Structure 1
Amino acid sequence: MTTAFITHDDCGLHNMGPEHPESPVRLLAIKKVLEKTGLMQELEQLESVHILPEQIQLAHAHLHQKRLEMKLPEHGVVYTDEDTALCPHSLHAASLAAGSAVMAVNRVIAGKSQNAFCAVRPPGHHAEHNIPMGFCFYNNVAIAAIHALQQPGIERVAIFDFDVHHGNGTVDIFKDRPEVLVCSTFQHPFYPERYSDIQRDNIINCPMEAHSDGMVFRSLVEGKWLPAIQAHKPDMILISAGFDAHHEDPMADIKLNEEDYRWVTQMLMDSARTYSENRLVSVLEGGYNPVSLAFSVQAHLEVLAGH
């Protein structure tokens, strides 16, 4: 078995304008680096499928999708908040992004793929149960986690989020679902400033001060995430893989590098081997310097593929 690389060209149709950091260039940069290094040829390349409406409702309010559809413009962009805009193709792309995560879960549980990475956009981890925000419309990883829990043999899931922004949407959706462990490192105080101080046994928030480096990050992961994994013993691991904590990323002030992403990926791979029968799915979140994003994804995928 190989690592599945799931994406779709139509994820590039979601376009919030030429100055917006969450740009179609992000996925193009990833593909270019993976092809140039030869890593792409080692991966199982698969095309995304659309999410079903009832699968969106696994993590979101019944009318969440309908409200977004009502705002969808025929041309131009319409903002749902000051950072997040819909263009005519946005929900088409969002459906493929969420569908990729469900597809990845199905393949890994069925033993068709060793593990999977979803190179998709728009991202998802800021989308709350009833609110799109922070460039996100559907919470891809949350939908995938609940879908996984519906499969035989999957009773506990763990989500690990190393994006520089707190995964408030994922926390909102799972704050009262103890079968899902949510561990998150993030710059604080910083956007979105929601749910970062929530107190729940299954929510492990690990705030980092601006300018924190890889030593701080690794210390938090070892000190907070590892004991939580050992206590939870997940049947499946999901990753909200944001690479905007890289020191070259323009969006924040954390100082990680490719080796930090390689290290945390290996730690999560080891945990999946110990507790989850190697079942692991990673879904792209942030990362807004196309060059550092692409090389960080390369490091992440090299570990997933067993390099």
Structure 2
Amino acid sequence: MPDPLDNFYRQFQLFVQNNPNVISAARAAAQIPESAKAVVVLSPYSLEHSFSRDWVSKSYLKTIVERPERLLASSLGISAAITMYPALYTLKSSDRKKSSILSPHVLKVHGKDWPPELLRLCKGADAKLAAQEVEVPDSWNAGDIYLSSKTVEALQGSIGALETAIDSIFEGPSVEHVSNRAFVAVRPPGHHCHVATPSGFCLLNNAHVSIEYAKDRFGVTHAAILDFDLHHGDGTQDICWKRAGFRPDEEDEDSPGYDSFGKKFADLPRVGYFSMHDINSFPTESGYATKENVKNASTCIMDAHDVNIWNVHLSPWETEEEFARLYHTKYRSLFAKADEFFKQGKIEMAAQNKPFKGLVVISAGFDASEFEQTSMQRHGMNVPTSFYTTFTKDALRLAQMHCHGKVLSIMEGGYSDKAITSGVFAHLIGLQNQNWIKEWGSEHVVKEIVRGCKSNWKPYKTKRARDVIRIWAEEVIKLGRAMIPGFEMFFQDIPLNVKATATNIAPRFTRSRAQTTKGPSHEPPLATLDPSKEAAPRHRRIEGTGVTQEPVPFAQEELPSDDNEDEDYVYDEELNKTFNRTVEDITIDDISRHLETLDIIEQQPPPAPATQSKYKVPSKTTTQHLRSSVRPQQLANSNTHANLNGNAEDSDISMVSHISTRNHTTRSGARW
């Protein structure tokens, strides 16, 4: 069976050959171990879940924002991060791993009734669609949720991708390939799905299913879910109440095992939920929300009745400086509360003479991005792109303290190409503890990248010779569109630009030994992006002359401009110069200095529950051997950069804790 990443391998080789900055930096970084790299798991089966009511109007179709194209936008964000730090990421495709919707870890989260019911609805959907009937029950919001028989494959593939990520960060295909951090590009999202009720595009709760799998397979006892999606993860929070022993709303009141107040013993794993979201958006949007929904999205309760939930509401901001103050005084309190949750968990496990094993899970929704479409972000609340790097770095530090650095990030929302692409880009930079550069998230740069989301995308025929941004963006697009062969089914005209030279390029990627095995349990392909390996130089033959040209670095190609193409384009020479400098300035000193702060902090259980949480990044230098020459001042700067100064007492949260039930409203904004 062909490797699904073959096209990407070839395109990546071309990128390396065309980019001298990548080659020089990567040669110095060639000793970075696999364990220091972040795993990115692609989920090709996620493309199978698509809107199939082909009789609807075009205007109605435009309201369906959760669609397969979201996966392409995320791939462009992934490829953008790879072009900046190609030696720091490992790609895996879960194309050969599908897991049953009736798997034990799914049933433990969603009960014995909902997964079989979901299967039945999916299998019966095609007949209804053929008869031009809405395929979902009348009680569902048909504007948010759709089904088809192919949805089963998408869900099976999603579960397989989640399992692949968990396996990668706890076990790996080999001892040398265990990584602490993984990002899963998966859809449909999951954080609105309750125990047995789908909502807001979500059919299964990906975060909780992942945690249950991690508990069953690797003994995880405590997990903190950090959710930065624009919308409150009402389903995720609801399942946390179930995990605490409270009877779900979907269960009958006479269900066995509960006391007279609907509570039973809370078993492991214990899961805390920590969310920042817009209180005026779904499921708490004015005009649609119930009192119970608003209470749920404002619940703040710690270490009471086996429940740990903390919600923070987004506030408006005008400048990034103002947002930074909000982050440090308000939003960062989520990490203090998660820190408190883990500390208390260690105390309880020690008291029972049982081992503690933690995991940090990020519900990575990008619909709070400054680039999200206004129809989704109707109330004007958003975050700057740099937020996704900052928040992710803080999540890494939390994981260092309590979870041996283990972080699983799962894509949730994000519905415009710009929001997903820029958000994933910034998030992955943070997942490797590197610095986000402001120019990378500029409107100009993001606009160039998301051109690759168009079904009819073609490279520019001509470019300005010094337009580094446009030339770089095309490299990003080619890499992103080569990641999943399934894109070709939806976009038949994807030009990979690799066929002509593919036979001349030897693969230079480290493969896992598991790739030689056969059968359904085949370990997903693993591509270590190590551009330090020499590749055959690319030559160009000039048509009709018999002359062969030497390869030209992509940032130095002389390409004439064409005044008839992209008439509204304004070339920004200063931005191009600055952008080029940001790429050239990435050195092995920078990379290793940030990686070295990811040493694990071993903490002993505190003698008593903490009333205040302060934590810092360590100053050890386990990756010091990677640096060619690091000056003392650089080390001092590294340690200064490592400190986290977010104090719990700085929070201006004034929400009241509530124990309440959930209700559902529409996410699309339309009344049903």
**What SS class does the counterpart of residue 85 from structure 1 fall into?**
coil
Q: Which moved more, 1:199-208 or 1:70-79?
A: 70-79
**Residue in structure 2 matching 1:9, options 38, 44, 47:** 44
Residues 1:95 and 1:39: Cα distance change in structure 2 (over 3 Å):
farther
1:105 maps to what in 2? 166
Percentage of pairs with the same residue: 25
- If the length of structure 1 is used for normalisation, what is the TM-score? 0.91
**What SS class does the counterpart of residue 335 from structure 2 fall into?**
helix
Cα distance in 2 for residues equivalent to 1:122 and 1:151? 24
Q: Which moved more, 1:124-133 or 1:32-41?
A: 32-41
1:241 maps to 2:375: no
Give the superposition deviation at 1:198.
Answer: 4.1
Cα distance in 2 for residues equivalent to 1:300 and 1:240? 12
Which structure 2 residue ranges, 5 or more long, are not aligned? 1-34, 53-60, 173-177, 245-269, 285-292, 303-307, 344-356, 435-672
Cα distance in 1 for residues equivalent to 2:170 and 2:392? 19
Cα distance in 1 for residues equivalent to 2:330 and 2:109? 28
**Residue in structure 2 matching 1:207, options 307, 313, 336:** 313
2:384 maps to what in 1? 257
Residues 1:211 and 1:23: Cα distance change in structure 2 (over 3 Å):
farther
Q: Which moved more, 1:111-120 or 1:196-205?
A: 196-205
**Residue in structure 1 matching 2:150, options 69, 73, 89:** 89
1:50 maps to 2:98: yes
- If the length of structure 2 is used for normalisation, what is the TM-score? 0.43
Q: Which moved more, 1:125-134 or 1:90-99?
A: 90-99
2:194 maps to what in 1? 128
Determine if contact 1:188/1:209 at 8 Å carries over to the other structure.
no
Q: 1:10-62: CA deviations, max 9, x gaps?
A: 21121126421112111112213433562595422112232332221121021
1:192 maps to what in 2? 283
Residues 1:62 and 1:153: Cα distance change in structure 2 (over 3 Å):
closer
Determine if contact 1:189/1:209 at 8 Å carries over to the other structure.
no
1:30 maps to what in 2? 74
Determine if contact 2:49/2:151 at 8 Å carries over to the other structure.
yes
Which structure 1 residue ranges, 5 or more long, are not aligned? none
Q: Which has the larger radius of gyration?
A: 2
1:175 maps to 2:241: yes
Cα distance in 1 for residues equivalent to 2:166 and 2:194? 21
Task: Tell me how many residue pairs correspond in the alignment.
Answer: 307
2:627 maps to what in 1? none
**What SS class does the counterpart of residue 157 from structure 1 fall into?**
strand
Q: Which moved more, 1:284-293 or 1:173-182?
A: 173-182
Cα distance in 2 for residues equivalent to 1:291 and 1:225? 28
Give the superposition deviation at 1:248.
Answer: 2.1
1:230 maps to 2:340: yes
Cα distance in 2 for residues equivalent to 1:306 and 1:209? 26
Cα distance in 1 for residues equivalent to 2:86 and 2:49? 26
Residues 1:224 and 1:114: Cα distance change in structure 2 (over 3 Å):
closer
2:118 maps to what in 1? 68
**Residue in structure 1 matching 2:65, options 10, 18, 21:** 21
Residues 1:40 and 1:222: Cα distance change in structure 2 (over 3 Å):
closer
Q: Which moved more, 1:233-242 or 1:194-203?
A: 194-203
